[in-house]
Structure 1
Amino acid sequence: MSVSKHPNKDAYELILDAIDVGVFRPGDRLVESELAERFGVSRTPIREALQRLETQSLLARDGRSLIVASLDHNQLAELYVVRAELEGLAARLAAQHSTLEEIRVLRDMVASDLELIDDPSALSRANKRFHRQIHLASHNRYLVQQLDLVHRTMALLASTSLAVEGRGETALAEHGAIVDAIERRDGDGAEAALKIHISKAFETRLKHDSANMDAVS
């Protein structure tokens, strides 16, 4: 799978996008010269981008090489705690500040995503768009920035919980409950619904990871 060159994106954004869509997976080694050739940019901005990504813990050292980082159990738990709090706040603010147009977009997303139930990869991408729309509907730029970083880190997970049988349908029902609360301008309800959604996603992931560990042990 290749990444098309995009003149409006810098090296940092190009590498981030490649990690986000799974071109580079946890454990993959990133080589400066290969990245420069892939993206059609010089090695200097690639080097600076790699340093920035390492500082953000999205890349890790493996000897002298840089690899895409992976998350252990404790890091995963910490990430979901932060995600639940920030996403819950975004939903609360969306209930207070979203426009009618933004609410209709969220409602349309839930309806159209039902067609993706049998395609976990497509549903995962749609899920990211849905959550991003809630972030934007919060109308708080600083919160959006923090959530961007959280969701970039989520890209370090090797699989999506939406691939677990039955989770897609349940997740979309949870999305619907979140939008219902936002539409009612119920900040408490929106925050609670989104936190429940994140908690269920985390629980599903833990069960899935545990089952996989049992299968290979």
Structure 2
Amino acid sequence: MDAYQYVKERIISGHYQSGERLTEVMLANELEVSRTPVRSALQQLEFDGLVTPLAKGYVVSSFSKEDIQEIYQIRALLEGHAAFEAALNRTEQHIEVLKSANEQFMQYVKHTIAQPDEANMEKIVYFNKQFHDCVNDASGNSYLKKHIEQVVILPLVYRSFYWYDQYELKRSFEAHEAILKAIEARRPERAKSAVQEHIYNALDHILEHIGEE
């Protein structure tokens, strides 16, 4: 694993907490590499919005409620447009991937309901990402995909799926079904609105959870 992926995953997993200071020397020693790839990794993570530069070193970024709302609004616009284009450009292979991802998603939801387990939740997160990635791939717009990749980091950092209860997980499955049906039927406006509603529901959930902390 390269320095960028290593530090990014440590931030997303919560190993490096918001406000924690990161230095090139510390990370180079931890990774047992020179400072050059670490410096490059930190610059990329700054571009991603995951770290903030200090006079010396960096700090893991913190996000206010206002930041979260703005990021989710951008995400809704970008992913909504990706779904719009996906409904026009999708192939049968895309439809099969979407169906399979959502079926697997629901299977692990059922497993989690029967027996809550960290491994099951990781599978739910994995198949949720696979579903959304496929919608973005189906858009055929590589520039759009790159911008979306930046704004989907926030829910990963907050591990927001781990706050979902049985009802909310089922509602996500149903939202995916609505998105899938619209894309399969080549209904771009319906696909766009379904994705945006799904994302705004996720925003409401994360804001409610943060408000309870």
Fold similarity call, TM over 0.5:
yes
Q: Is the CA contact 1:69–1:156 (under 8 Å) kept in the aligned structure 2?
A: no
- In structure 2, do the counterparts of structure 1 residues 22 and 187 end up closer, same or farther at CA, with 3 Å as the change threshold? same
Structure 1 residues 28-66: Cα deviation after superposition (integer angstroms, max 9, x where no partner)? 332323422443432112012213322443202467442
Of the three residues 19, 22, 46, the one matched with 1:54 is: 46
Q: Indicate how the Cα distance of structure 1 residues 134 and 20 shifts in structure 2: closer, same or farther if over 3 A, else same.
A: farther
State the 4+ residue runs in structure 1 displaced beyond 6 angstroms. none
Give unmatched runs, 5+ long, in structure 2.
113-119
Equivalent residue number for residue 130 of structure 2: 129
Contact between 1:124 and 1:160, CA under 8 Å: does it hold in 2? no
| Count of aligned pairs | 203
**Residue 74 of structure 2, aligned match among 70, 74, 82:** 82
Question: In structure 2, what residue type is equivalent to 1:163?
Answer: W
Q: Is the Cα contact below 8 Å between 2:83 and 2:192 reproduced in 1?
A: yes
1:150 CA drift (Å): 1.1
* Structure 1 unaligned spans of 5+: 1-5, 213-217
The structural deviation recorded for 1:199 is: 1.0
Q: Secondary structure at the match of 2:140?
A: coil
**d(CA) in 2 for partners of 1:99 and 1:19?**
35
Identity %: 32
Residue 209 of structure 1 corresponds to 210
Offset at 1:108? 0.8
Counterpart residue identity of residue 51, structure 1 = Q
- 1:65 to 1:93, Cα distance in 2 relative to 1, 3 A: same
Secondary structure of the corresponding residue to residue 58 of structure 2: strand
Pick aligned residue for 1:43 from 35, 46, 57 = 35
**Bigger mean CA deviation after superposition, 101-110 or 113-122:** 113-122
Any idea what SS the aligned residue of 1:207 has? helix
1:77 CA displacement: 0.5
Name the counterpart of 1:145. Answer: 146
TM-score calculated relative to the size of structure 1: 0.83
Q: CA deviation at 1:204?
A: 1.3
Determine which structure has the larger helix proportion and give its number.
2
Inter-CA distance 155–29: structure 2 relative to 1 (3 Å threshold): farther
CA RMSD of aligned residues (A): 2.1
2:156 aligned with 1:164, yes or no? no
